Amino acid sequence: MQTQNLSPMMQQYMAIKEKCKDKILFYRLGDFYEMFFDDALTASRELELTLTGRDCGLEERAPMCGVPYHSCEAYIARLIEKGYNVAICEQMEDPKAAKGLVKRDVIRVVTPGTILETNMLEEGKNNFIASLYAGKGGYGCAFADISTGEVRACQVEGDVQCLKSELGRFSPSEVLLGGELAGGGSLEDGLRAFLKERLGCVVSGFDFSSVSKQECAEVLPAQFGAQNLELLSLADKPQLQIALCALLRYLGETQQRGLECLNTLDLYSGEDYMNLDLTACRNLELIRTLRAGEKRGSLLWVLDHTHTAMGKRLLRQWVEKPLLSPTRISKRLNAVGELYDNTMLLGECEEALSDVFDLERLMSRIVYGNASPRELKSLEYTARRLPQLRGLLGECRAQYLRDIYRDLDTLDDVADLVGRAVSDEPPIALKDGGVIKAGFDQNLDELRSLVSGAKGFIAGIESGERERTGIKNLKIGYNRVFGYYIEVTKSYLELVPETYIRKQTLANCERYITDELKELENKIFTATEQIERVEQELYQRVRGEVCKNLSRIQRSAGLVARLDVFCSFARVSLSGGYCRPQVDLSGTIEIKEGRHPVVELMVKSTPFVSNDVYLDMNQNRIAIITGPNMAGKSTYMRMTALIVLMAQIGCFVPARSANLSIVDGIYTRVGASDDLTTGQSTFMVEMSEVAEILKSATKNSLIILDEIGRGTSTFDGMSIARAVVEYIADKRRLGAKTMFATHYHELTALEEDLEGVKNYNIAVKRQGENVIFLRRIVPGGADDSYGIYVSKLAGIPDPVIQRAGVILRSLEAGDAPSSHKRKRPAEPEADQIVIRQSDDSEIVRRLREIDLNNLTPLAAMNVLGELKNLI
């Protein structure tokens, strides 16, 4: 496009657009953000906006569409969700004071990982942006949430699978790739596929090669403090330094301000937390359910009794990062235990927490300059609650509660400042006026008095002029053209003083102005403009004073969030009848009357049957669990894993008692399906997961395996399953505590062949041809899979069930089953299966015969799932 022919404004637009070619430019014009040319075509399509045009100096008008600036967040959110980035171009000077074209520039670029707007963020989830740099010796990983001010970093030593596990902990929405990860090839392609398909995040471009060691040496100490970095020992982590520095520069380029929020670096090691990869998180349904992908029905749903957004985010972090230190776990349990034992204290803390706003995201918006007056006022409301919250913990004995009492800054001075400065009910926007409270600034009060008293002044002048001139119907009016004027009818024109200046002649009157009137008019107009300017100056001054207390407020927010999670754990433990676990390094997992925390809440039609668990490092390392489908094998194994995980995040557990040894990782292979995105079959997915488990697990891990080998032929599957058990059982190779559910009854012979293997099964009670699953785990192997009984329970027609019984007896006798087609016995016509759309079909008849009173919802789901696998 020949820009020299464009109008001056369009030339300015094109110059700014040149700097952000790959972004949709929101160009501020008055009260609207306008988009032009290709951006307008894209935005009108994606946002369903009316496409118009604007003269631009060319023969054809420029395509144009726009959105109101005060409601732009909703439109930006939709564009971000659709995969676009948005550049915000603002007017950099007051249009009234500008000479010629108003100066404009991009003040911020909104990307998936740099969202600050509250309505675009999930309250209980962090929005991380990640920076990954691969070099010799490992991967540098840096994560930041600019909406809360959190910065975390670690250096991953290991293969790309370890890197994926670390990414799974944070689930970033945007990622920068550098070093060997940005050089092309299978490593980058595989990681990009993982980021897009498994995490659903965007990979943004950034030139890591421009980040030098010198820049790292200057930028990082300036951002986080030289003394802090020395304590964190970053000197031997060059990859991490580059990842951090690149992330800060990217945020500086896109946000241009507000990086002071990122003032504390949490440098952690992967050895501090349990290894939980995405497969384990998904199979155990820690954050969301497998089928519906929602929070309800997950472990997080059970545990979340928090009252603050900060607490919700911290709880999720703890669930995804269980601790490995018995000391830290015990300190958390002590805090939960004290609240558990003192229900009055717990209730008072919960009541105080219910009035606390999201301090972390609130402060980020204040620092970035995006906070509305109401948001600034909510900071005061929250600060007013902190003294009460702190006072409640004065008599506590648990160290973590004592730490909160000691370190919680009640922010009295901040609350006092905002309380004196901001109106009790401020408007949403600063431009609406009335933000600053009366009495805060004398100059502002005088200006307001002048404006509010204008009517009185005008009335006084009008009365005085009538008396002085003798014009009885003299009146003072106002219009936007002349301002204030004196109106005199023609019958009194001879009484008009010479000091009056004629401004307008009408049919039956004349309009005049006086020096006194113009002086008052100027004062009123000037005062109105001054009020707006002074209010903005005072508001920015108050905001600046609040920003000086950023570190104090962030620290208090973190302590409030921690207390909120402790209260949440105590509340769920009380309502669920949980017990305090004993956590150590003994290598033993012993659970008495354990219950699945989610299932017992979701399935209320039948009481949950509790079970015991015992695993150790010697004779009880591997539990082989046999029994029919839908009897509870998977629930039992998941229950064990969740109880261990709950203990290691510092929560009480659903059991009568629990003595639990620390596990360094939970690895699961539970269920599988075809991975269409990579062209992998069910069996390939299953074997890939098993291979990763055998490579990553250690002797201190807990492994959950469900139905290994069922995706291939019987003999192949059984051979693979046995080989996997033998490998895990071998202490020289692995020797990890393992729960292995299988339908291969032949594997029960391993109890005699391998040390540390024990058989268990689900107790079953027969009543004639009917079967009742007792859901009780007992020693020994199962004597039957009861597949035919499950099929009958699911409503399979009687002829199919009868024929299956004949075939089963033939197979058990060692005979090949006869062809049902060639040797079909004569059967009554009524017994034939006729599938048709009629009310008297066999399928409809069988459905009517199902006893719904004895078929629970969970049992029905399990039956249908098993039937699908059998088919």
Label the pairing between strands 265-267 and 62-68. unpaired
Assign 3-class secondary structure to 137-203.
Answer: CEEEEEEEECCCCEEEEEEECCCHHHHHHHHHHHCCCEEEEEEHHHCCCHHHHHHHHHHHHCCCCEE
**What are the backbone dihedrals phi and psi of residue 472, each rounded to the nearest 5 degrees, phi first?**
-70, -35
Binding positions for ATP: 627-634
Task: Determine how many CB atoms are found less than 10 A away from the CB of residue 269.
Answer: 10
Cβ-based neighbour number of residue 334 at 10 Å: 18
Strands 622-626 and 757-767: parallel
CA gyration radius, the chain = 36
Burial of 481 (0-12, 13-18, 19+ CB in 10 A): exposed
Q: What is the DSSP letter of 748?
A: G
How do strand 737-741 and strand 702-706 relate by DSSP bridges?
Answer: parallel
Going from the C-alpha of 690 to that of each of 329, 675, 693, 694, 837, the distances in angstroms are: 30, 15, 5, 6, 45
| 108, 207, 581, 661, 849 from 669: Cα distances, Å | 45, 39, 26, 22, 37
Whether the Cβ atoms of residue 404 and residue 563 lie closer than 8 Å to each other: yes
Q: Which residues are annotated as a binding site?
A: 627-634
Closest CA to 539 of 452, 434, 449: 434
SS3 state at 365: helix
CA distances from 335 to 273, 328, 350, 645, 864 (A): 20, 11, 15, 18, 44
Q: Please tell me what DSSP assigns to residue 476.
A: E
777 vs 789: CA distance, rounded Å: 20
Helix H or strand E encompassing 300: helix 299-303
How would you classify the pairing of strands 150-156 and 265-267?
parallel
